[in-house]
């Protein structure tokens, strides 16, 4: 499965967060699109509208398991998708900003 390291992501890269609502509210990457894995198939159209036409979809969850499943699904749909290795845990550990719903410093739960 295609995988990318947090350190390989650049500002402005498209990020899809598939964690559940409570995890998202506690802390997420600013600018990420949030579609929980539990709602993903029903809300798939939101992704196709928001994702860059010829760009890559970087899929992230807490540690990489759920995002790996969504990445495989997206690849089957013909979308250029990669799993962010280590998920939001790696994101936060690398010093990348994590914000809550109000834009204040958040935490990964």
Exposure string over 86-106, b if 16+ CB within 10 A, otherwise e: bbbebbbeeeeebbeeeeeeb
Catalytic, 27? Answer no
Distance CA 6, CA 10 (A): 9
Q: Catalytic pick from 18, 61, 81, 84?
A: 61
Residue 60 and residue 82 in contact, taking contact as beta carbons nearer than 8 Å: no
8 Å CB contact between 67 and 83? yes
Sign of the CA dihedral with 66 first, then 35, 85, and 68 last: positive
Residues belonging to the active site? 61
């Amino acid at each position: 499965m295609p995988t990318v390291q947090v350190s390989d992501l650049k500002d402005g890269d498209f990020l899809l967060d598939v964690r559940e609502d409570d995890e998202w509210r506690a802390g997420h990457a600013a600018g990420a699109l949030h579609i929980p894995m539990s709602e993903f198939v029903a809300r798939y159209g939101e992704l196709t509208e928001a994702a860059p036409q010829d760009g890559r979809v970087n899929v992230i969850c807490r540690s990489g398991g759920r995002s790996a499943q969504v990445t495989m699904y997206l690849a089957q749909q013909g979308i250029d998708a990669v799993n962010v290795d280590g998920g939001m845990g790696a994101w936060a550990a690398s010093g990348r900003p994590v914000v809550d719903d109000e834009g204040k410093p958040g935490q990964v739960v």
